[in-house]
Amino acid sequence: MLKPRWWDVTVGAGSLAIAVGLIFGFGPDDPGRVLVGLASIALFALTYVLIARPALADPPAGWRFPAFLVVAALSVGVGAAAAPFLAMLQTLAYPLTWVLGDTRKRGILGSVVIAVSVFTGVFLGSGLTADAAVSGAATAIFSVVFATALGLWIASIAEYGEERARLVGELTAAQAQVEALSRDRGAAQERERLARDIHDTLAQTLAGLVIFAERAGRQSREGRADAAAETIATVEQVARDALAEARALVARTAAVPSEPVLTAAVERLVDRFRAHGIATVTLDADVAQSAVDRDTEVVLLRCLQEGLSNAAKHAGAAHVTVHVGVAPDGTALLVVSDDGAGFDPSEPTRGFGLSGMRERVEIAGGTLEVSSRPHAGTTLRVSLPAAHVTEGEHA
């Protein structure tokens, strides 16, 4: 919406200045012509107030454009006929014509109409002579060319602004859509992370509780009270660990043993597996002096936990070998080997364990290699890049 107040000032001040010039220096000597000129100025101002101004406040102009154009052309033509100086009214008529016209076509057409009225007024007012025709034509042609060029330039600027506003609106909408998609993606990643954490912590611990509970029940039925009590004590300890893991998940921290040294955390995890009594475990871990960061610890311990669980539940292994260390180039390494049933890595696997482990390692920027054959055991090899290991002594 245009601001009519600025046009009020422009048209009012311009009409007043032209009227003053007509009376005090640029008008004809004939008082009758001066009165006709003043009437033309008043008609133009009245046309602005009654026809043009409402369209400025509430576009589009509609019928007001042709009505304004006819009356404005009449005012300019009659005024120029009474006093050539009143051709100055075209300086107000041209801008209003372009503003009310809305389109290039209507702006150009309106400019031509005003130019014709200027030529006619000057030609008639100067006595229908050849000099009057040349003067009127020169004035009209110069003014219409200038007004058209200026109008087209302003129209292009306005269209550029509208196009820019449209693009900004589309960009804002696209940004909002991207933001919504990012939130959805973030929520999906968080669900995946929670699924991995639950599988790697609570699910594994609860599976161990079931095994211990079954053992305690079997020992109790066989009358082995001392062994059953020892197993129940183990169940209690594992249950406490499960509670600690659950609290860690709620706090959105890594549900891993809390020792600051990776070797101690690995030993605790292996000891818990040994307590199952399903397979023997040989541990080779010496990274106590290496400042492995927390994220690396989480990944290594999760993979170790999954590897031990698979060896017990799926492979039926009798012996498992675990190696944890840091290579000379700073790469953190985990190798879990068992002598179990093995499988074909090219065949799709059921369950979330192996795929979740691979995804976790890839997110950390590492690699997971699985070597296995049916009836020939399985070896898991996890490598995490040096970027995940801070400076310190390496094993």
pLDDT tens string, the chain, 395 residues long: the values are 456 788 788 888 888 888 888 888 777 778 888 888 888 888 888 888 888 888 877 766 678 878 888 888 888 888 888 887 888 888 888 788 878 777 777 778 878 888 788 777 777 776 677 776 776 676 667 677 766 777 677 767 766 767 787 788 888 888 878 777 766 776 676 677 667 667 666 677 777 778 878 888 888 888 888 887 888 888 887 787 777 667 655 544 444 444 446 777 788 888 877 776 677 888 887 765 555 677 777 888 888 888 887 777 777 778 889 988 888 777 888 999 888 888 877 776 655 567 778 888 888 888 988 888 888 888 989 988 865 444 444 33
CA distance 327 to 292: 12
Q: What is the pLDDT of residues 257-280, one digit of tens each?
A: 444 467 777 888 888 777 766 778
> Where do we find the tokens 């372009």?
98
Residue 352 burial by Cβ neighbours in a 10 Å radius (0-12, 13-18, 19+): middle
Q: What is the mean pLDDT of the chain?
A: 76
Q: Tell me the whole-structure pTM to 2 decimals.
A: 0.41
Q: Give me the residue spans of the domains in the chain.
A: 4-128, 258-395
Sort strands 280-285 and 319-326 into parallel, antiparallel or unpaired: parallel
Q: Name the architecture of domain 258-395.
A: 2-Layer Sandwich (3.30)
CA distance 98 to 281: 90
CA distance 151 to 54: 21
